[in-house]
Amino acid sequence: MTSSVATGAGARDLDRALDAMVAALGHDAVLTAPAELLEFRDPYTYRESDEFDASAVVMPTSTEQVQAVVRIANEHRVPLWTFSQGRNNTYGGPAPRQRGSVLVNLRQMNRILEIDTELAYAVVEPGVRWFDLNDALVEQGADLWTSIPDLGWGSIIGNSLEYGIGYSPYGDHARNLCGLEVVLADGTLLRTGMGAMPGNRAWHTYPHSYGPSFAGLFQQSNYGIVTSAGWGLLPRPEVYSACWARFSGYEALGQVVDALRGLLLDRTIQNTPMFNRGFDLDENGNGVFTPDGDGWFARFALYGREDQVEAQYRAVEATVGRIPGVRLDRRTFDGRDLAGPANHDERVQRGIPDMDLLDPTMLPYGENTAHLDFSPVGPARGSAVVATEKLVRSLYAGAGLSYVNGLWLTARTALHISTTFFDPRDEEQTRSVYANYGRMVGELAATGYAPYRTNLQHMDLVADQFSFGDHAQRRLSETLKNALDPNGILAPGKSGIWPADRASL
């Protein structure tokens, strides 16, 4: 087979590799036609750019087929780039860092391998979406639900490997993985943790290992391809309260952050509070986008038996509720009602996925709306949050860009996630949005903040910020890369980690 996009290694190696992949996986499992590749481009890069174009897409349906793909890629020195669903469009969607990479599309590996209703976990393949797991739990009538992020179409494994956040007590999704199966660059099949023992019964229950814990190596990295993972589930609560704190201005913001941090630290609030500036609630409790306003709302949730939730809410009233100018609201639901509540905010904190936030009628350029998210991480301290919000605001203002501002709070950390909307058909606008991102990385680094993940365009720049000890982290990353993947076939450039022989890619 022949692709119109060449790798650096030259089209001849690529053609042979694709022929071998067809022989191993079947003709329908390999795509090379330009029209077929279109949906796998970085959807938010400048439309005319081919910098992040793949040469082909291969679609394994099993771990064995992933092993075959990896062995073929090694033989022909063809770079691969893996995605699970590839739906996080602000971070490149399914597109590769290295032009001409062969995409390993795991959407066909979409089996839920196990649901243990007693121990409350599932084992899923990378193609399993939030929608799929929720459907399976509802269908089983299981008394269990799952943590989810805002959009239901993404991969559980993909989101979690990128340190994605959800809105449940298991909202730190990376920590909610337990027991990975991973294909290494040489085709070796590794099971992490207790799974390294054949038949071990704690593989998906015990989060650690005998000896070093290797699971972290496969987060946001290019050291292996995760082909299944354990995933913790939650018992449906008797009572669930969706709560909102509404307020205006920076002074209240700092106070609300400090008060919520206290409630997170003492575990009164067990999910991830999410703040938005420029939103308000309509009479049905739906968030309404009012970008020019200075109003904030913080959304969070309480779970438990009725008297537990009432006691938790009294603690919220006694702290957040006493801040001048803060209005508290909540709506309380039967947590075991499978249909769940009517609006997105209420659903997402109970694990019921939807696609509401991508409603094109809400977006400035309709179907053509792209967005670039900037996500620096800092301490969950009111004064620091306010200073960072002001800095980010001034940087967008200085670039003449409007943006939507969000804040995700854990007990000790604040994730400042701001979003600029743009039209990727407009080259000038697109370049200006990406250039501003680069400037913001530098400005935030000067105050001790770095993004926790980034887009293809800025992976190297963000990696450059982690320069402690003469770039000790990068040197370690590269030592491991060269030891584990000497031909550099797995996702070269991911998170700024390149193989030694980058020139031949």
The stretch among 83-91, 106-114, 203-211, 275-283 that binds its own copies (CB under 8 A) is 203-211
What kind and span of H or E run contains 111?
Answer: none
The stretch among 2-10, 151-159, 326-334, 446-454 that binds its own copies (CB under 8 A) is 446-454
Residue type, 400: G
Closest CA to 445 of 420, 462, 468, 470: 462
Smallest distance, its own copies to C-beta of residue 309, A: 9
Quick one: residue 267, left, alpha or beta (phi over 0 = left, psi -120 to 50 = alpha)? left
Separation CA 483–CA 151 (nearest Å): 37
Contacts for 391 with CB less than 8 Å, ≥ 6 apart: 443, 444, 447
**Residue among 108, 413, 419, 432 that touches its own copies (CB under 8 A):** 413
DSSP type of residue 400: T
Confirm or reject binding of residue 350 to its own copies (CB under 8 A): no
Question: How much of the chain is in helix, strand and coil states, percent to nearest 5?
Answer: 40, 25, 40
- Interactions with its own copies, residue window 101-160 (CB under 8 A): 118-121
In this complex, which beta carbon is closest to its own copies, that of residue 431 or of residue 475?
A: 475
Alpha carbon 249 to its chain's center: 29
Separation CA 25–CA 108 (nearest Å): 12
Confirm or reject binding of residue 320 to its own copies (CB under 8 A): no
- Could you confirm whether 452 is annotated as catalytic? yes
Q: Which of 46, 91, 303, 313 is catalytic?
A: 91
Separation CA 176–CA 182 (nearest Å): 17
Smallest distance, its own copies to C-beta of residue 197, A: 5
Site string for its own copies, 4-43 (x = CB under 8 A): ----------------------------------------
Confirm or reject binding of residue 175 to its own copies (CB under 8 A): yes
**Residue among 221, 349, 420, 487 that touches its own copies (CB under 8 A):** 221
**Residue among 16, 49, 62, 206 that touches its own copies (CB under 8 A):** 206
Smallest distance, its own copies to C-beta of residue 413, A: 5
The stretch among 21-29, 41-49, 282-290, 469-477 that binds its own copies (CB under 8 A) is 469-477
Smallest distance, its own copies to C-beta of residue 482, A: 7
**Residue among 244, 250, 365, 452 that touches its own copies (CB under 8 A):** 452
- Could you confirm whether 91 is annotated as catalytic? yes
CA terminus-to-terminus distance, the chain: 19
* Inter-residue contact 492 to 498 (CB < 8 Å): yes
Residue 465 backbone dihedrals phi, psi, to 5 degrees: -70, -25
Which value, in Å, is the radius of gyration of the alpha carbons in the chain?
Answer: 23
The stretch among 148-156, 241-249, 278-286, 472-480 that binds its own copies (CB under 8 A) is 472-480
Q: Which of 261, 299, 347, 453 is catalytic?
A: 453
**Residue among 22, 399, 404, 480 that touches its own copies (CB under 8 A):** 480
- Interactions with its own copies, residue window 358-397 (CB under 8 A): 377-381, 384
Confirm or reject binding of residue 266 to its own copies (CB under 8 A): yes
Separation CA 492–CA 176 (nearest Å): 27
Name the residue with tokens 């800092």: 378
**Residue among 155, 159, 255, 477 that touches its own copies (CB under 8 A):** 477
The stretch among 227-235, 275-283, 353-361, 395-403 that binds its own copies (CB under 8 A) is 227-235
In this complex, which beta carbon is closest to its own copies, that of residue 13 or of residue 125?
A: 125
In this complex, which beta carbon is closest to its own copies, that of residue 199 or of residue 400?
A: 199
In this complex, which beta carbon is closest to its own copies, that of residue 40 or of residue 240?
A: 240
What kind and span of H or E run contains 229?
Answer: strand 224-232
Confirm or reject binding of residue 334 to its own copies (CB under 8 A): no
Checking DSSP bridges between strand 80-83 and strand 102-105, what pairing results, if any? parallel
Long-range contacts of 192-200, Cβ-Cβ distance < 8 Å, separation of 24 or more = 192/218
Confirm or reject binding of residue 225 to its own copies (CB under 8 A): no
Separation CA 251–CA 277 (nearest Å): 14
* Inter-residue contact 331 to 242 (CB < 8 Å): yes
**Residue among 50, 135, 210, 337 that touches its own copies (CB under 8 A):** 210
Smallest distance, its own copies to C-beta of residue 426, A: 30
Residue 110 backbone dihedrals phi, psi, to 5 degrees: -125, 35
Q: Please tell me whether residue 299 adopts helix, strand or coil conformation.
A: strand
In this complex, which beta carbon is closest to its own copies, that of residue 265 or of residue 355?
A: 265
Alpha-carbon distances, residue 212 vs 77, 196, 367, 463 (angstroms):
30, 12, 47, 25
What are the structure tokens assigned to 75, written together?
Answer: 């033989």
Confirm or reject binding of residue 412 to its own copies (CB under 8 A): yes
Confirm or reject binding of residue 207 to its own copies (CB under 8 A): yes
Smallest distance, its own copies to C-beta of residue 387, A: 11
Smallest distance, its own copies to C-beta of residue 480, A: 7
- Interactions with its own copies, residue window 277-316 (CB under 8 A): 303-305, 307-308, 310-312, 314-315
Checking DSSP bridges between strand 279-281 and strand 274-277, what pairing results, if any? unpaired
Give the residue numbers annotated as catalytic, written as ranges: 91, 452-453
